[in-house]
């Protein structure tokens, strides 16, 4: 069966209801320009003062909001999920920092900069590594007073009592509403920030599936009708087997505050293999005196992954995963582990927004306007993530799955040393990275390199289209 070619990024905005057809045309025109060169500044992208003024008028309009701009992409994403059938919804929060003078409507981030927070629900395929798009995008600001309050939290104390925990509940409810209306299967995936009673209890009420990494090992649980804590329950977990997994390279984010430094558990590590064992157990999680909001006790399966012999000087890998998925067999337990390991794709999506699309470098003066711009950049970042996902999923798939024949011809010939037209996605992505300045000795290309290659390809394609148009008129 032939694989369907990718549509252009502009198609992710078709049908946007902005109250005026001229605004929709402005949106499509602006997206086309930004997608062609996502690294460039807005003044450079718009071309002249008149277009730049029109663009700023557009993003500062109060006739529509960011949700209206993003809605066609969300709708297309849900349609892709329906066709996929079984998907994962990856949930995570990031902060966008804009150092300098305070911009209108902005708050403070954890690093003390001007900025805001975003909680996204990114859909990916359960099989393979194909991203499908953003299903939920929730943003908010935090006042300087709230930042100080979070910094005063004692180590180990749950930050989920903060009002911001409601963003997680809202996000999973958005995803569940989409699932029920379109009829596909979803497993919610979250890192340890999602380990709080109210969220998992709500997911159980919605009869939703999830895989969430635990961080509260001292929490009260019931096992065989007796009260204990999660750590103790894991001591009697059933060993199912061991295998080798590949750990991705990770660079620790620079901490802007002492609070951030204390909170950051993810130290720098190289790409390396790790031999890990897997154990399983089942427990019941009851509400406690610290529980905020409604929620009933729920039963959950536990999968514990531990590295058996880490290299000298390396911290051993250890994950405790809380899940609704089956764990009766070794194969079932490893499936839960593999589902959680796909969570890194949402971190890649954030990197693509910040680095590939230069979102934090945009000179936009207000919070509301930044949200409009974020909604415009989200489908562009999805497109870049999809190209990389297709290459990692099946590098030997036909190149025409992701690129047109013209694109492939231009990739091969619009360079100092023309080469053979790429036949596979892997070959095409390598050429795209080379157009962005990537050197083989530097390892896999990063988002900045891929973005530069993508913008160069689109610029070359624009010149090709102008040439074809001119020839038709001659």
At which of 20, 43, 59 does a domain end? 59
Q: What is the mean pLDDT of residues 153-158?
A: 42
Shared domain check, 215 and 301: yes
Shared domain check, 102 and 237: yes
The answer to whether residue 351 is domain-embedded is: yes
Shared domain check, 167 and 104: yes
Shared domain check, 84 and 15: no
Shared domain check, 437 and 326: no
The answer to whether residue 442 is domain-embedded is: yes
pLDDT at residue 2 greater than cutoff 50: no
Shared domain check, 85 and 22: no
Shared domain check, 132 and 41: no
The answer to whether residue 3 is domain-embedded is: no
The answer to whether residue 385 is domain-embedded is: no
Residue 131 backbone dihedrals phi, psi, to 5 degrees: -75, 150
Distance CA 363, CA 133 (A): 26
Shared domain check, 402 and 343: no
Residue 327 backbone dihedrals phi, psi, to 5 degrees: -135, 15
Q: What is the pLDDT of residues 81-91, one digit of tens each?
A: 999 999 999 99
Shared domain check, 153 and 73: yes
Q: What is the pLDDT of residues 235-267, one digit of tens each?
A: 999 999 999 887 766 665 554 444 344 444 556
Distance CA 134, CA 171 (A): 11
Distance CA 251, CA 238 (A): 33
DSSP code per residue over 359-424: GGG----BHHHHHHHHHHHHHHHHHHHHHHHHHHH-TTSBGGGTS-HHHHHHHHHSSSS--PPP-B
The answer to whether residue 289 is domain-embedded is: yes
Shortest CA distance to 173 belongs to which of 129, 206, 127, 130? 206
The answer to whether residue 379 is domain-embedded is: no
Distance CA 447, CA 439 (A): 14
Residues 6+ apart with CB under 8 A from 232: none
Q: What is the pLDDT of residues 400-445, one digit of tens each?
A: 777 778 888 888 887 767 888 888 888 887 888 787 776 666 666 7
DSSP code per residue over 291-342: --S----EEEEEEEEEESSPPTTSPPPEEEEEESS--SSHHHHHHHHHHHHT
The answer to whether residue 377 is domain-embedded is: no
The answer to whether residue 378 is domain-embedded is: no
Shortest CA distance to 188 belongs to which of 140, 136, 237? 136
Shared domain check, 313 and 398: no
- What is the domain-level CATH number for residue 315? 3.90.350.10
Domain count along the chain:
3
Shortest CA distance to 331 belongs to which of 247, 240, 244? 240
Residue percentage of the chain with pLDDT more than 70: 80
Distance CA 150, CA 453 (A): 41
Shared domain check, 38 and 70: no
State the sign of the Cα–Cα–Cα–Cα dihedral 458, 464, 469, 472.
Answer: negative
Distance CA 197, CA 288 (A): 9
Domain around 213: 66-369
Shared domain check, 47 and 102: no
């Amino acid at each position: 069966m032939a694989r369907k070619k990718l549509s252009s990024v502009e198609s992710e905005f078709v049908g946007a209801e902005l109250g005026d057809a001229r605004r929709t045309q402005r949106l499509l025109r602006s997206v086309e320009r930004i997608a062609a060169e996502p690294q460039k500044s807005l003044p450079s992208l718009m071309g002249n003062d008149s277009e730049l003024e029109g663009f700023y008028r557009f993003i500062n309009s109060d006739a529509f909001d960011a949700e209206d701009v993003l809605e066609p992409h969300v709708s297309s994403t849900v349609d892709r999920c329906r066709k996929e059938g079984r998907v994962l919804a990856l949930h995570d929060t990031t902060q966008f920092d804009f150092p300098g003078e305070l911009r209108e409507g902005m708050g403070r981030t954890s690093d003390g900069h001007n900025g805001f927070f975003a909680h996204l629900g990114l859909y990916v395929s359960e099989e393979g590594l194909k991203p499908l798009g953003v299903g939920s995008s929730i943003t908010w600001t935090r006042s300087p007073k709230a930042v100080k309050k979070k910094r005063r939290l004692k180590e180990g104390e749950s930050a989920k009592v903060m009002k911001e925990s409601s963003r997680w509940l809202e996000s999973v409810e958005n995803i569940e509403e989409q699932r029920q209306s379109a009829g596909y299967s979803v497993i919610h995936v979250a890192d340890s920030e999602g380990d709080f009673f109210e969220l998992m209890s709500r997911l159980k009420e919605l009869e939703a599936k999830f895989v969430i990494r635990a961080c509260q090992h001292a929490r009260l649980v019931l096992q065989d009708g007796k009260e204990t804590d999660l750590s103790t329950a894991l001591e009697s977990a059933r060993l199912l087997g061991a295998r080798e997994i590949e750990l991705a390279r990770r660079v620790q984010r620079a901490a802007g505050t002492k609070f951030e430094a204390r909170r950051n558990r993810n130290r720098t590590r190289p790409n390396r293999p790790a031999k890990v064992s897997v154990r399983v157990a089942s427990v019941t999680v009851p509400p406690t005196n610290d529980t905020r909001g409604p929620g009933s006790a729920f039963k959950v399966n536990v999968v514990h992954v531990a590295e058996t012999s880490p290299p000298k000087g390396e911290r051993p890998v250890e994950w405790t995963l809380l899940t609704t998925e089956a764990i009766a067999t070794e194969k079932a337990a490893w499936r839960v582990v593999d589902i959680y390991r796909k969570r890194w794709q949402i971190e890649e999506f954030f990197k693509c927004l910040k680095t590939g699309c230069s979102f934090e470098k945009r000179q936009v003066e207000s919070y509301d306007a930044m949200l409009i711009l974020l909604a415009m950049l989200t489908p562009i970042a999805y497109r870049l993530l999809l190209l990389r996902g297709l290459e990692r999923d099946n590098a030997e798939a036909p190149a025409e799955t992701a690129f047109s024949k013209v694109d492939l011809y231009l990739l091969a010939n619009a360079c100092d040393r023309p080469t053979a037209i790429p036949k596979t996605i892997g070959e095409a992505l390598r050429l795209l990275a080379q157009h962005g300045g990537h050197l083989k000795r530097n390892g896999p290309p990063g988002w900045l390199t891929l973005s530069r290659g993508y913008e160069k390809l689109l610029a070359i394609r624009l010149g090709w289209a102008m040439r074809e148009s001119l020839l038709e008129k001659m």
